[in-house]
Chains A and B, each alone.
Chain A
Amino acid sequence: MPKSSLHAAALAVSAMVVFFTLFAGASASTLEDVKARGVLRCGVAPNSPGFAAKDAQGNYRGFDVDFCHAIAAAVLGDAKKIELLPLGLRDGFTTLASGGVDVLTHRFTWTFNRDNGTGIQTAIVVFYDGQGFIVRKSANLKSVKDLNGATICVAQGTTTELNIADYFRSRKISYKLTTFADLDEARNAYEAGRCDAWSNDRGSLAARSQGFKNRADHVMLPETISKEPIGPMVRIGDDAWFHVVRWSAAVVIAAEELGVTSANVDQMRQPSSGPEIKRLLGVGDDLGQKLGLSADWAYNIIKQVGNYGEIFERNVGEKTPLELPRGLNALWTDGGLLQAPPFR
């Protein structure tokens, strides 16, 4: 009898050893990991039309997905080498921090509390959003002020509930809040009449209002009650990777500033182009090397994914069902907030 018991004990000990080995975290260099793996892993918002959702063919498409493509093009030379993981609020940050994904191209807002203490950081802002309200047209409401005493449906967010509380309290408007765990359930409950208004980031409202039975019965109120700068997030403590992500996204914005598109990038890649275009596209210069990337990293991004304007218009722009105007997401030269740091 002792023999079999000892056997069991030995088995238990070895199982524990295996378990602890598995516990060891991700390695220090994400860039090397991604290159060795040959595929970039991005965390995206689950089913968010226009930002990250499957199309009729089952392929993920969207604004956030394209930024994942851009980073893959820069690091691996092939925008298609990505793996997407839909993540919710509860698991998003922990999955990134523990190495389950390399970057979050998600709908998460850049805030103080997220930068300090969660083990993650925002690399750059690529989308300026703000919280808005959708109401029924028949209610004949003109502004958020008219919502005094109203019931508002929201989905649990990290900033959603607090934004409403701060805005309504400081203006002494009374309200009732009904909080849902799921984004689509908040919309369904509002549509069923549980609430007088439905609130979320305007981008998200535009995306999810596609699910209404009749979109024309509803209208967005003019006020934006919060600022929601959104951009790719990475783990702290890996500056090389942080820079790869930040500057890959900057390439997308700079390309629009410089008038480089996926269609004309081949013509632009020659000695007679302007000096900043040449630096960006690696003509007679090699910025990629400083990031640990190839000289044609920026060329690959623009060629395979496009510039900011292209990404915006094809996913969420005025010709898409979301019909979002550029607004704050226009270039700084066009009255927006978007600006790439100088490539020099």
Chain B
Amino acid sequence: MRGGKFGLVLQLIVLLSVVAFVVGIADNVATNLARLGIKTGFWFLSRPAGFDISQTLISYSDDSTYFTVFVVALLNTLLVSLLSITLGTLLGFVVALSRSSSNGLVAATASLYVETFRNIPLLIQLLFWYFAVVQALPAPHASFRLGDVVFLNNRGLFIPSIQFGDSVWLMFGAFAAGLAISAFVAANARRRAAAAGQIATFAQWTLLPPIALPLAVGIFYRENIAWSIPNLQGFNFHGGITILPELLALTIGLSIYSGAFIAEIIRGGILAVSRGQTDAAMSLGLTRWQTSRLIVIPLALRVIVPPLGAYYVVVLKNSSLGTAIAYPDLILVFAGTVLNQTAQPIEVMTITLLTYLALGFVFSLATSAVNRRVRQ
């Protein structure tokens, strides 16, 4: 009944209405802005911003432009998202396995974790980690310390940093070369095993080149390498790497919250592999490890990857709640201070919106690519 000429015409009408609607809104906004005397445009992005940001991953100074501010804020959003995704996935993996464990205590603890953190709003958890935990740490002069090199206080976590000097690129090169060697050896082994109709096994030393090569380069150029150790001067610590309390609280809060959801996604994937598959593999004489690696994990991944990818986008969006605990992300810095200073709400909000949209889209594309791979 649907379809045919009438259906086509109807679809066309709907499409035209949507286009007309969007154009109408844009025109309305433009007309009203002009009537209200509000100046619009993106020229402000090339103007100096002048204010300071607590965490900048790229070089930033008082004459940096609003565009640089945007990049700084975007990198901060990406940093905390990727950290939380990584830690949350590791945590989720461990918890998922624990929850399926035959040890009752382990399984119960894992269940308690999932049910607790999944059911409390993330914002409340973040405020808890920030105001009740991180801010309750001692003042800088009374820091918790590990040796005299790592310090933890209410101004953040201070750890030593290594300055590689010029040899940093050589070490990167050595690492890449090591990876290539490992990959080559592994591929070779797999091909030979496949030709012989066997399951490939890897010697542990396959993983050695990416670690040993950069290490060798580092030892060779050791006089170029210097340590920077944090030390207390006046109000604050100087030197080393500072991990701000805001980043600390947001990463902890977001990882633990996300871990609870990711654990359930992974557990769901594992449970979806039917018992018969495992029994069949075992009866063929495969070891427990081989059964997991060759049968359970590939099958479970087909179920896990799509919702996991979708959840990573959720983590990215959830990171914007860091605004509530002063984490300098896109929302706080760009859609906040920049918006206030420039008084260009429409432009700033449009850029912010499109940025999140684009990031989410990239995540989705990556998920699809991975998904295609695991389905092969």
A interface residue numbers (CB < 8 A to B): 1-2, 5, 9, 12-13, 16, 20, 23, 25, 89-90, 93-94, 97-98, 113-114, 116-119, 147-151, 156-158, 161-162, 164-166, 169, 175-182, 185, 188-189, 192-194, 196, 235-237
- Render B328-371 as a binary contact track against A, CB cut-off 8 A, 1 for contact: 10001100110111110100000000000000000000000000
In the assembled complex, which residues on chain B have CB atoms less than 8 Å from the CB atom of A185? 324, 326
Whether B236 lies near A150 (C-beta < 8 A) is yes
- In angstroms, Cα B373 to Cα A336, docked, is 75
In the assembled complex, which residues on chain B have CB atoms less than 8 Å from the CB atom of A164? 52
CB within 8 Å of A: which B216-236 residues: 233-236
- In angstroms, Cα B29 to Cα A94, docked, is 12
Q: Is B278 an interface residue (CB 8 A)?
A: no
In the assembled complex, which residues on chain B have CB atoms less than 8 Å from the CB atom of A193? 135, 139, 154
* Most chain B beta-carbon neighbours within 10 Å: one of A13, A25, A156, A166: A156
CB closest chain-B residue, reference A6: B10
In the assembled complex, which residues on chain B have CB atoms less than 8 Å from the CB atom of A189? 131, 135, 326
- In angstroms, Cα B337 to Cα A126, docked, is 26
Contact of B21 among A16, A116, A181 (CB under 8 A): A16
Whether A177 lies near B52 (C-beta < 8 A) is yes
In the assembled complex, which residues on chain B have CB atoms less than 8 Å from the CB atom of A151? 155, 235-236
In the assembled complex, which residues on chain A have CB atoms less than 8 Å from the CB atom of B52? 161, 164-165, 175-177
In the assembled complex, which residues on chain A have CB atoms less than 8 Å from the CB atom of B326? 178-181, 185, 189
Whether B39 lies near A165 (C-beta < 8 A) is no
Whether A194 lies near B245 (C-beta < 8 A) is yes
Whether A156 lies near B336 (C-beta < 8 A) is yes
- In angstroms, Cα B28 to Cα A235, docked, is 19
How many contacts A-B (CB < 8 Å)? 133
Whether B337 lies near A161 (C-beta < 8 A) is yes
In the assembled complex, which residues on chain B have CB atoms less than 8 Å from the CB atom of A93? 343, 345
Q: How large is the interface on B (under 10, 10 to 19, 20 to 34, 35 or more residues)?
A: 35 or more
In the assembled complex, which residues on chain B have CB atoms less than 8 Å from the CB atom of A188? 131
In the assembled complex, which residues on chain A have CB atoms less than 8 Å from the CB atom of B343? 93, 113-114, 117-118, 158
- In angstroms, Cα B29 to Cα A176, docked, is 39
Determine how close the nearest CB of chain B comes to the CB of A95; give it in whole angstroms.
11
In the assembled complex, which residues on chain B have CB atoms less than 8 Å from the CB atom of A16? 17, 21, 24
Given contacts A5-B10, A178-B244, 12 further A-B contacts (CB under 8 A): A12-B17, A16-B21, A90-B340, A148-B234, A151-B236, A156-B332, A156-B337, A157-B340, A161-B52, A176-B54, A179-B332, A237-B37
Determine how close the nearest CB of chain A comes to the CB of B51; give it in whole angstroms.
4
Pick the 5 closest A-B CB pairs, nearest first: A161-B51, A117-B39, A119-B36, A192-B135, A119-B38
- In angstroms, Cα B36 to Cα A23, docked, is 13
Whether A9 lies near B10 (C-beta < 8 A) is yes
- In angstroms, Cα B13 to Cα A10, docked, is 11
Given contacts A162-B50, A181-B326, contact A20 B135 (CB under 8 A): no
Contact of A9 among B13, B53, B62, B135 (CB under 8 A): B13
Q: Is B32 an interface residue (CB 8 A)?
A: yes
CB closest chain-A residue, reference B333: A179
Whether B28 lies near A97 (C-beta < 8 A) is no
Whether B345 lies near A165 (C-beta < 8 A) is no
Q: Is B182 an interface residue (CB 8 A)?
A: no
CB within 8 Å of A: which B1-55 residues: 1-2, 6, 10, 13-14, 17, 21, 24-25, 28, 32-33, 35-39, 50-54
Given contacts A148-B234, A156-B332, A156-B340, contact A117 B38 (CB under 8 A): yes
Whether A177 lies near B54 (C-beta < 8 A) is yes
Whether A181 lies near B135 (C-beta < 8 A) is no
In the assembled complex, which residues on chain A have CB atoms less than 8 Å from the CB atom of B51? 161-162, 165, 177
Contact of A118 among B25, B32, B38, B139 (CB under 8 A): B38
Contact of B246 among A119, A149, A165, A178 (CB under 8 A): A178
Whether A150 lies near B235 (C-beta < 8 A) is yes
Q: Is B323 an interface residue (CB 8 A)?
A: yes
Whether B131 lies near A192 (C-beta < 8 A) is yes
CB closest chain-A residue, reference B328: A179
Q: Is B136 an interface residue (CB 8 A)?
A: yes
In the assembled complex, which residues on chain A have CB atoms less than 8 Å from the CB atom of B33? 119
Contact of A235 among B36, B136, B323, B341 (CB under 8 A): B36
In the assembled complex, which residues on chain A have CB atoms less than 8 Å from the CB atom of B17? 9, 12-13, 16
Whether A149 lies near B235 (C-beta < 8 A) is yes
In the assembled complex, which residues on chain B have CB atoms less than 8 Å from the CB atom of A117? 37-39, 343
Determine how close the nearest CB of chain B comes to the CB of A316; give it in whole angstroms.
24
- In angstroms, Cα B54 to Cα A123, docked, is 36
Determine how close the nearest CB of chain B comes to the CB of A114; give it in whole angstroms.
6
Whether B155 lies near A194 (C-beta < 8 A) is yes
Whether B234 lies near A149 (C-beta < 8 A) is yes
In the assembled complex, which residues on chain A have CB atoms less than 8 Å from the CB atom of B13? 9
Determine how close the nearest CB of chain A comes to the CB of B237; give it in whole angstroms.
10
- In angstroms, Cα B256 to Cα A264, docked, is 66
Whether A90 lies near B35 (C-beta < 8 A) is no
- In angstroms, Cα B26 to Cα A140, docked, is 57
- In angstroms, Cα B120 to Cα A217, docked, is 36
In the assembled complex, which residues on chain A have CB atoms less than 8 Å from the CB atom of B24? 16, 20
- In angstroms, Cα B32 to Cα A97, docked, is 10
- In angstroms, Cα B84 to Cα A160, docked, is 31
- Render B263-289 as a binary contact track against A, CB cut-off 8 A, 1 for contact: 000000000000000000000000000
Determine how close the nearest CB of chain A comes to the CB of B4; give it in whole angstroms.
11
Contact of A94 among B35, B337, B345 (CB under 8 A): B345
Given contacts A20-B28, A119-B36, A148-B234, contact A192 B154 (CB under 8 A): yes
In the assembled complex, which residues on chain A have CB atoms less than 8 Å from the CB atom of B135? 189, 192-194
Whether A90 lies near B21 (C-beta < 8 A) is no
Contact of B342 among A113, A116, A157, A176 (CB under 8 A): A113
Contact of A165 among B28, B50, B139, B236 (CB under 8 A): B50
Given contacts A150-B236, A194-B155, A235-B36, contact A158 B336 (CB under 8 A): no
- In angstroms, Cα B33 to Cα A149, docked, is 44
Determine how close the nearest CB of chain A comes to the CB of B21; give it in whole angstroms.
6
Given contacts A148-B234, A162-B51, A181-B326, contact A192 B136 (CB under 8 A): yes
Whether A236 lies near B337 (C-beta < 8 A) is no
In the assembled complex, which residues on chain B have CB atoms less than 8 Å from the CB atom of A97? 36, 38
Whether B332 lies near A181 (C-beta < 8 A) is yes
- In angstroms, Cα B11 to Cα A6, docked, is 12
